[in-house]
Amino acid sequence: MRMIALNEKTRKDILETLLKRSPNQYEEQTARVAEILETVKKQKDKALFDYTEKFDHVRLTEQTIRVTKEEIRQAYEKLPQDLLEVIKKAAVNITAYHAKQKQYSWFDSEPSGILLGQKVTPLASVGVYVPGGKAAYPSSVLMNVLPAKVAGVERIVMVTPPASDGSVYEGTLVAAHEAGVTEIYKVGGAQAIAALAFGTESIPKVDKITGPGNIYVALAKKAVYGHVSIDSVAGPSEILVLADETADPRYVAADLLSQAEHDELASAILVTTSKELAEQVNAEVGRLVPCLSRADILKKSLDNYGYLLIAETMEDAIDTVNEIASEHLEIMTKDPFRVMTEIKNAGAIFLGPYSSEPLGDYFAGPNHVLPTNGTAKFFSPLSVDDFIKKSSIISYSKEALQQVHEDIIRFAEAEGLTAHANSVAARFGKGK
């Protein structure tokens, strides 16, 4: 990992380097994705079947594209019992956390005859994309589906690419069933996003698409936004550890590597006021990498986007943290709760030496679908709010409208909208 003294120039250079990982930078893939989307939009199931055969080497039909109850039953038989118990425990924690986010309709009435309010309605249908193959993560199934379930979404569709034998990883199927998915289809990639956005003979369209995927999936979600809603256009995973001299270098190194192993574009950054800690962390990283199963990915990730940043003061360190706006932020300082109050931009914040990032990935309850690439400056984690919509409620009695109708007419006429003015005036014998 590169050890760098923080100043205005180095901070700017690092931010520019990190932003190069954004999905917005992949122009070559954008054209290919657009072609896939348009083909599925026109040819529907035929295109889905053709692309699945081309990319996943599985020939689907109308009869085999949807996962059956028998396949789910077999998944439960294959899945180790201890993993099933962990999935169930995690689901309880995730559901309990998100239940606290639930919003309700409200109404406020006045004696004058005015009633104002807000009606909260769950989305009717949601599509969840789940990666397959080596990137099959049951935890992501729970994190995407359970908030929708808590919100009250009735139709929750999951799409995931099949293995070469036409099967779906048993952990994915079990997690989907435990979370309450209503339909599962064996299709992945940009073509799956197109099916969810536009609909095919086998897969009716949905109102919103969530879930992680490769660059083709991310670009496809970006392209269909407007036809449907999406959660976000996710970039590579990120972790930032903010630490002082009290931090344990072994913990810091282990946590940095926990995200760097995701892929070669993942970023792992330590911001610290202690050069000694940075040196110790670097040594620990060097010791740990060869011991881990994804050593090759770790080396490339750390070579490209691994930093040990030395700040002169904690204030400078915090300023840098807020500028980077990392997906995951761990605070390992003498008083992490005080430091936390000065953090403005982060997807999820982990406080203290025993709140390591994987706790949030799997088990604690808060959502692990988080803003990346600096978007934590204006985006939030996936939540129940992402699966509801709000309608304003307005009701005036004749007496209440009479008290303000001249004000409304005056406003409308000032904007040159005489039909607006007439709509109100007509109720009091003044309209045309």
Nearest to 91 by CA among 135, 150, 136, 156: 150
Q: Which amino acid is at 171?
A: G
Tokens matching residue 102: 């639930």
Nearest to 1 by CA among 361, 235, 260, 182: 260
User: What is the rounded distance in angstroms from the CA atom of residue 385 to the CA atom of residue 393?
Assistant: 19
For β-strands 114-122 and 106-109, DSSP reports them as antiparallel
SS3 letters across 140-206: HHHHHHHHHHHHCCCEEEEECCCCCCCCCCHHHHHHHHHHCCCEEECCCHHHHHHHHHHCCCCCCCC
User: What is the rounded distance in angstroms from the CA atom of residue 33 to the CA atom of residue 29?
Assistant: 6
Catalytic residue numbers, as ranges: 327-328
User: What is the rounded distance in angstroms from the CA atom of residue 414 to the CA atom of residue 46?
Assistant: 55
> Are 207 and 124 contacting, i.e. CB atoms less than 8 angstroms apart?
yes
> Are 382 and 210 contacting, i.e. CB atoms less than 8 angstroms apart?
yes
User: What is the rounded distance in angstroms from the CA atom of residue 97 to the CA atom of residue 368?
Assistant: 12
Strand partners, 5: 310
